Amino acid sequence: MEAGPGLPSMSTPDVAWEWEERGGCYRATIASGPSSSSWLRDTVLKPEIVRLLGDRSGDRVLDAGTGNGWLFELVNIGERHACDIVKPENVRSDVAFVQANIANLPYPASHFDAVVASIILCYCEDLDVVAAELHRVTAAAATLVVALVHPHFYRTGEALDGDRYMIEADLSRPERFDIVIGGMAGPFTYYRRSIPDYVNALIGAGWELDEMTELFVPRAEYEARFRARDLVRRSTRVPLFVTMALTKP
């Protein structure tokens, strides 16, 4: 995965255009299949999101930034809703899809019992606005499940001898840059922030944090499957994903 230099002075990007024009390659890269990106999501990330969400057979659930809609294949959900900044090529007939930006959701207040926001907040410019919008559309006692690419994962340092990893990047302030995923998808506008930045925005909007977990690449499985020891040398030493479960009081 490659990232460009910080771009804090650029004008607000046309996010919808980026994903409309370049998102197809990204979706193909992370879709279930032979790529390491899809395998890591299937093996590491999705099971954790499913665990945090739990059985939702009687609930109204929103998958915000739904992508290819994998959530509805793995979780028992009563009323399925999804939104994304671009419309997926295929939407299940039992899913109510709306094309929308997560910062301005077209739903009434207190509408959902649970929301999943998986690998989307790191593409959002204003976390406070997004956190407040997710809070607005959820009912009291609702659950929010957040998944992020861990901020230390993208070019934050280098692996050293003796199974050590040197963190060199400055995460004391948000950094905006263009990112190319898998060496071919993108570039997309990406925001690297510290974990406290995300937590503070969510708590500031009224969410209560119940659980947070850092997820690592399963090194032995990865190397046996992809025979790419050097390629994952650094990513097995720092978390790949971080997940959070939050509640609206």
Both structure tokens of 148: 């992020």
CA 170 – CA 174 distance, rounded (Å): 9
33, part of any domain? yes
178, part of any domain? no
The residue range of the domain holding 205 is 13-153+194-231+238-247
6, part of any domain? no
Both structure tokens of 8: 């804090």
CA 194 – CA 174 distance, rounded (Å): 7
Number of domains into which the chain is organized: 1
| pLDDT tens by residue, the chain, 249 residues | 333 333 333 345 677 767 776 766 666 666 656 678 888 899 999 999 999 999 999 999 999 999 889 999 999 999 999 999 888 878 899 999 999 999 999 999 999 999 999 999 998 999 999 999 999 999 999 999 999 999 887 667 777 776 677 888 777 778 887 777 666 666 778 888 999 999 999 999 999 999 999 999 888 888 888 876 556 666 677 889 999 999 999
| CATH assignment at residue 128 | 3.40.50.150
Is the pTM above the cut of 0.75? yes
What phi, psi does 198 have (nearest 5°)?
-70, -50
90, part of any domain? yes
214, part of any domain? yes
Cα angle at 19 between 17 and 22, to 5 degrees?
A: 100
Alpha helix (H) residue ranges in 105-158: 127-136
Beta strands in the chain (DSSP E): 2-6, 56-64, 77-84, 95-99, 112-118, 138-149, 157-160, 164-167, 175-181, 185-192, 208-215, 241-247
